[in-house]
Amino acid sequence: MRIIGIDPGLRICGYGCVQIERGALEPTLVEAGIIKLNTKADIPDRLMQLHEELTDLITEIKPDQMAVEKLYAHYKHPRTAILMGHARGVILLCAKQVKIPVIDLPSTEVKKSFTGYGHASKSQIQLAVQTQYSLPEPPSPPDVADAIAIATTHARRIAVEQLG
């Protein structure tokens, strides 16, 4: 089963695709990268760009499921949550248009899955992903590592469910 993990953003949207075989405990990394949005464009144009590029990526990678970080709002930055909600809405639309299920994962669960600590820093996630997949260097920017971690966390859930 192929899972694409998405770390939503309006400047950079990270993605990571992993594959988990039936009976395997750990997934393999298929592909990862970013969708870099035109920061000089207004929000509607960025959302259109995100939709077009993510749709193309999904068509190319052919995931069976999508895992996306749950939206959270910090009381000091409510505008950020609203703007991220726009990007997340486009991401969910892309998945729905190609009929793949979407799984929401809290960032604390992803961080705990990878580092044992639900409030791990971006650099800790990058190093954990590098170690997990024996990469020559930490995935950069951090959005890529986050997306890989999101996909991997869901793949591990699937592996555990298949064991039970």
DSSP 17: E
Check residue 83 and give its pLDDT: 83
pLDDT one-digit tens code per residue, 20-75? 999 898 999 999 999 999 999 999 999 999 999 999 999 999 999 999 988 766 66
The predicted pLDDT at position 75 comes to 61
Over the range 110-131, which residues count as b (16 or more CB within 10 Å of their CB) and which as e?
bbebbbeeeebeeebbbbbbbe
- Give the tens place of pLDDT for each residue, 85-142: 899 999 999 999 999 999 999 999 999 998 999 999 999 999 999 999 999 999 999 9
Which 8-state DSSP code applies to residue 140? S
69 noted as active-site residue = yes
What is residue 48's predicted lDDT score, i.e. its pLDDT?
A: 98
Cis peptide before 141 (omega within 30 of 0): yes
Q: Among 7, 31, 45, 53, which one carries the catalytic annotation? A: 7
| Range 38-43, long-range pairs (CB < 8 A, 24+ positions) | 39/11, 43/10, 43/83, 43/86
State the pTM of this model. 0.95
Q: Is 84 a residue whose pLDDT tops 90? A: no
Would you state the torsion angle of the CA atoms of residues 68, 91, 44, 77, taken in this order, to the nearest 10 degrees?
-10
Task: Point out the catalytic residue in the list 56, 64, 69, 109.
Answer: 69
